[in-house]
Amino acid sequence: MNKGLLDGQVAVITGAGSGIGRAAALRFAEEGASVVTCDITGAEGETADMIAAAGGRAVAQKMDAGNEGDVSAAVALAQSEFGGLNAFFANAGITGTPTGEEFLDHTPEIWAEVLRVNLIGPYLAIKHAAPVMQAAGGGSIIATASVAGIRANAGPVAYSASKAGVMNLVQTSAQELRGSNVRINAICPGLIETGMTKMWYELARMNGAEDKMGQSNPMLRGGNPEEVANVALFLASDLASYVNGQSVAVDGGLSSGHPFGKKLDREVLRKIMAAQAAQAATADAGKA
């Protein structure tokens, strides 16, 4: 296995059983990291096996990302198995909202569970990983937020609110840990084909509209987990040594503008401008 950007380093990755988490675990290992793959699904072991089969080093731990004991145990496992901890990718998350249920019908229990996993989970990663990293001279903590945390209409309400919280969490945590050499950043994925978006992709395929997915961003397509994993790799590496307290959108440019419709035909636009000019000339003539 090739070694590179994370040669000799140790990383913990949550949500590593599939999607962005699995892609990141494989990518980190490819670049030389020893990886603790964590997930609640049981698929974390498959990811660890994939890394081992490619010649890398990995150990799996079943983890509830919002459970403090599980998070603490993952950090301890990284230390005992691989001798330290350099990067923690707090990627695990849930949408939490029952399909088809109206916003005003959501219960406090639904909100509490979404916040527990999506927001408290990254906080617990910071709480337990930062002291270990600081004692070793520094490290990188990355949390998965979302474009849903930047603007509305990109996800369910509770999910969106939790991801906005993650974006604020990395800012405030970076300030709280000033001087520690522990960098804390977030990634804001846009439309990425993962287990979380599987239903929408399958529906589009059933309707012959897969090519319409992602048409609201300037790149006119959805993304793949590997594209997000590459940004996580950058943030975990020394290439991002001066990047701290930031939320990086990986969304094909979706969050760079406001929603828009089909571009107006240039000939139609010329006619509109000519009509406006004629109206202005008529109004000026009337004043004279």
Tell me the catalytic residues: 159
The backbone torsions φ and ψ at residue 156, rounded to the nearest 5 degrees and listed phi first, read: -60, 160
Burial 222-247 (b: 16+ CB within 10 A, else e): bbebebbbebbbbbbbeebeeebbbb
Strand partners, 250: 189
Residue type, 259: P
Separation of alpha carbons 252 and 255, rounded Å: 8
Distances (CA, A) of 44 to 25, 88, 132, 229, 242: 10, 15, 23, 16, 31
Residue 272 CB neighbours (<10 A) = 11
* Contact between 149 and 166 (Cβ < 8 Å): yes
Calpha distance 58→37 (Å, rounded): 7
**Can you spell out the DSSP letters for 93-110?**
----PPTT--GGG--HHH
> Tokens representing 183?
């960098």
Q: Phi/psi at 161 (nearest 5 deg)?
A: -65, -40
Is residue 24 within 8 Å of residue 48, measured between CB atoms? no
Q: Can you list the alpha helix ranges (DSSP code H) found in the chain?
A: 19-30, 44-53, 68-82, 108-115, 121-135, 157-176, 198-206, 225-236, 266-287
